[in-house]
Amino acid sequence: MFEKLEAVEKRYEELTKLISDPEMIANQEEWRKLMKEHASIEDIVLKFREYKKVKKEMEEAEELLKDPEMKELAEQEYYANKEKLPKIEEELKFLLIPKDPDDDKNIICEIRAGAGGEEAALFAGTLFRMYSMYAERNNWRIEVLNENETGLGGYKEISFMITGKGVYSRLKFESGVHRVQRVPDTESSGRIHTSTATVAVLPVVEDVEIEINPSDIKMEVFRASGAGGQHINKTSSAVRLIHEPTGIVVECQTERSQFQNKDNAMRMLRTKLYEIEKQKQDNEITNERRSQVGSGERSEKIRTYNYPQGRITDHRIGMSIYQMENFLNGDLDEMIDNLIAADRAEKLKGEE
């Protein structure tokens, strides 16, 4: 580990000189890449330097233990620093875990009603509200890209984008099947129903990250529509894009302008194609080691919302929270923090 840390520190010093070089600054594209790399390893280097400083102070205090006059003071310093070292070492191990390159990206989230008919559609609406409120807590911006609303206010499906700092890093573990157990408002006998909704969280990608051949796309336009005849346009502003090589279909009908809908649909298509490529790479890794937190596949049941018991259980980490109302009002941090910690611990095992 320490050889790796020495190499990272050496690279950091090289980068510090390079980003101050006037010739490099003149080449803005290359300079931005170097600045990004410099920032990505800064925390590791600062923590490593803290480790070396504490270790040096401990060694100096150990030498002073031989001096009877300094022994008492030296003992305090020696044991204080000795206690700090294991904690700093642990922090260094976590910092050395390769960072997910998508962590700082915005996301496109898709929620689809699964088994359970109208009750599943209502649950999809509950999840959309939950993520909207979580976004609001974090001062993130949310934009609905496409929606298929039902008569009772639920959603057969809804796609939306969340933009803000570190959105993907916080929400990436939400992908999978969410299950709800509750008595529906439409159920007169009071029987508990089980319904599901699938959530997909995809990192938003830039044009340069994924190339799309325009001849591979078939575009269809149609009139936007909604539940009970809402949002119906007199012109064909809604856009459907079909990527013929993969069969991926995306729709956008929330904007009044066909151009804006096409732009949003292209963004959704790029994101889905990027996810396919990312999944291929992830599969190569998971063939060697499967993460405890889960693959994020839509078929994987990740969480149960049990209304009668007021309990939310995440099956990947075996954690239950008994604060249903707060959770559905966007208080997700405790669960998310534990999912991130479990993922880091699993990755740390893989690095050993």
Mean pLDDT computed over 311-338 = 96
Write out pLDDT tens, residues 32-83: 889 988 988 898 999 999 999 999 999 999 989 888 888 888 899 999 999 9
pLDDT for the residue numbered 198? 94
pLDDT for the residue numbered 205? 78
For residue 17, give Cα distances in angstroms to 44, 257, 348.
Answer: 18, 49, 32
Rounded Cα gap, residues 18 and 321, in angstroms = 49
Instruction: Label each residue of 37-60 as H, E or C.
Output: HHHHHHHHHHHHHHHHHHHHHHHH
Q: Other CB atoms closer than 10 Å to residue 247's CB: what's the count?
A: 7
Of 3.40.50.300, 3.30.70.1660, 3.20.20.70, 3.30.2350.10, the CATH number of 107-287+296-346 is 3.30.70.1660
For residue 181, list its beta bridge partners: 194, 306
For residue 144, list its beta bridge partners: 160
Residues in the chain: 352
Write out pLDDT tens, residues 181-209: 998 866 666 788 899 999 999 888 765 56
* Domain ranges in the chain with CATH number 3.30.70.1660: 107-287+296-346
Write out pLDDT tens, residues 7-40: 999 999 999 999 999 989 998 889 988 998 898 8
Residue 266 has pLDDT above 60, yes or no: yes
Residue 155 has pLDDT above 90, yes or no: yes
List helix spans (H) across the chain.
2-18, 22-26, 28-64, 71-96, 117-137, 167-171, 258-286, 324-328, 333-351
pLDDT for the residue numbered 291? 46
CA contacts within 13 A on the Cβ side of 49: 11
pLDDT for the residue numbered 225? 66
Sheet holding 248-252, edge to edge: 217-222, 238-243, 248-252
pLDDT for the residue numbered 320? 96
| pTM of this structure | 0.67
pLDDT for the residue numbered 282? 63
Q: Other CB atoms closer than 10 Å to residue 129's CB: what's the count?
A: 13
Cβ pair 188, 124 in contact under 8 A: no
What's the token pair of residue 22? 């006037």
Write out pLDDT tens, residues 220-232: 888 776 544 444 4
Cβ pair 177, 298 in contact under 8 A: yes
